Amino acid sequence: MLQDRKRSVLLYDFEPERDTFREEVLQGLQDSRKELPSKYFYDDVGSQLFEQICALDEYYLTRTELRIMQEQSPAGYVPIDISKEQLMRSVTSLTIAYPALEVLPICADYTSDFAIPSPTKPVSRRVAYFPGSTIGNFDREPAKRFLQQIAKVCKGGGLLIGVDLKKDFNVLHRAYNDSQEVTAQFNRHLLVRINQELDADFQLDQFGHYAFYNPGQSRIEMHLVSLKNQVVRIGEVEISFKLGESIWTESSYKFTLEEFAQLAATAGLRVERVWTDAQQLFSVQYLTAS
């Protein structure tokens, strides 16, 4: 969804009244030891003057504090994504928003084995961030292995992870069968890519999007179902499909909080905090790796 470029922000305004200013000035100046509250330096012009002070050679405070912060705060961010274009787009906006942050992007399948580079600054704690409930795309054993991997990489640190929760089957069904059929298009896009990149001839209108919640397995299953008997060519190879035969393209597991805590525990991760929305649709969880 497109966002308005210009956001309006509401100010909660408790700026001291002129009367208060007068009272404090008069009170301070009528004391036997005269004083004025230093907070009143900072009107608009005063604040700009202070900014200039901060830039002075002699005024070591600000730059020294910033240096300490830069030395001690997030040493670096290592985004990992399978899509190089998407990855580099987000890196660009991140480096603009956080010029001091060292960003070390990795284009990889995050289930594969690859080395995580170390930022230039010393790292005291590694925290992984795995949003989107993408953990739900793994079957139980691979999920456990993946979490174990993270636990190993983030020992002494933790994992912030998005986990989708069990809920009304109809709500789940609609989330993967949207009325605009974007999900169907997303699903079929896999065939578009295969056609484009692997010289294949999938007929897109001959494969139907089929997604449903499987309560016994606690997962959404997404399929592309052949709408006729057909033969598809991928390069030199021919693959035949029967009418109604499906290609399983994705699983998306849903959890109760207890089930996820249990899965995490099998990987040596402990749930420290859980945040959810009012309807308990989704959770964000912080796990530590001891």
CA dist 40 and 135 (Å) reads 53
**Which one, 186 or 212, has the nearer CB to ligand AVJ?**
186
Say if residue 46 is exposed, middle or buried (CB neighbours under 10 Å; 0-12, 13-18, 19+).
Answer: exposed
Q: How many residues does the chain have?
A: 290
Min dist. Cβ of residue 93 to ligand AVJ (A): 20
**Which one, 118 or 177, has the nearer CB to ligand AVJ?**
177
Q: Is the dihedral of CA 217, 220, 225, 231 positive or negative?
A: negative
Which residues, 6 or more positions from 155, have their beta carbon under 8 angstroms from its beta carbon? 126, 289, 290
Return the structure tokens found at 11. 């100010």
Which residues, 6 or more positions from 86, have their beta carbon under 8 angstroms from its beta carbon? none
**Which one, 176 or 255, has the nearer CB to ligand AVJ?**
176
- E-strand spans in 63-193? 76-77, 80-81, 102-103, 106-107, 127-130, 158-164
Min dist. Cβ of residue 52 to ligand AVJ (A): 48
Amino acid at 101: L
**Which one, 24 or 250, has the nearer CB to ligand AVJ?**
250
- Which of 231, 251, 261, 234 is CA-nearest to residue 243? 231
Min dist. Cβ of residue 136 to ligand AVJ (A): 6
**Which one, 121 or 167, has the nearer CB to ligand AVJ?**
167
**Which one, 101 or 190, has the nearer CB to ligand AVJ?**
190
**Which one, 163 or 267, has the nearer CB to ligand AVJ?**
163
Min dist. Cβ of residue 194 to ligand AVJ (A): 17
Binding site for ligand AVJ (CB under 6 A): 132-134, 136-137, 176, 183, 186, 250, 252
Residue 243, phi then psi, degrees to nearest 5:
-55, 125
> What are the Cα distances from residue 138, in Å, to 13, 20, 162, 234, 248?
49, 62, 14, 27, 13
CA dist 39 and 202 (Å) reads 70
